[in-house]
Structure 1
């Protein structure tokens, strides 16, 4: 028996899963990582707190993996509620603008809370 319902409604806050993959990171020295890349990465991620987004959770796959992302295509996932599409675009662009796209790849997946697990009246 099919459940009848209308088209999904776009929520006031978009649910965004950002897939984070290390790419050029593996071709850098420890000094580059600690003195240049990680401080810049921390600055960008900290800056996301000021754009109206709310971090819901993260997942790092490093418990059972090491090295390149492989077929999954990501090393970690960040889950946010984001106010609008432009903010998502600004978040991904922040990696380009700072040169972090040389070391990492981001991909945003848009959606909404799953209706059976989260009520969004």
Structure 2
């Protein structure tokens, strides 16, 4: 069976980026008051800045229907799918967790891909 012939994948503009999101032990070891009064407002503030950097949220995916606790072998609790203007913006988004101290509570990992050519043109 011969494969489909095509050239090398082209890097899209904007970038298609999946951000894996995981709660860390810092989140699980934090009191309810600290989560409500400090951590979640900081998280919401950072996410709000992402709306202003030219990124477009395409969708989200949360695995919590059939999981609880640590992320396990999948390494993430949720995924955020974005179109992001450029690589520097991706780096700025992940760095925003370091700059605000949210990396104590959450881990982010960005994966760059492209729309799946068999389903999206």
Q: Same fold (TM over 0.5)?
A: yes
How many residues align? The count is: 119
The alignment status of 1:97 with 2:105, answered yes or no, reads: no
Q: TM-score, normalised by structure 1?
A: 0.97
What SS does the aligned partner of 1:15 have?
strand
The residue number in structure 2 matching 1:69 is: 71
Alignment partners' CA distance in 2, 1:82 and 1:54: 6
Report how far residue 11 of structure 1 moved. 1.1
- Computed over aligned residues only, the root mean square deviation of the Cα atoms, in angstroms, reads 0.6
CA offsets 1:34-87 (integer angstroms, 9 cap, x no match): 000000000001110000000000001111111111111000000000010000
| Mapping for residues 1-121 of structure 1, pairs under 5 Å | 1-23=2-24, 24-119=26-121
**Cα offset, 1:10, TM superposition:** 1.1
TM-score, structure 2 normalization: 0.97
C-alpha displacement of 1:2: 1.8
Matches of 2:93 and 2:43, distance apart in 1: 12
Residue ranges of structure 2 left out of the alignment (5+ in a row): none
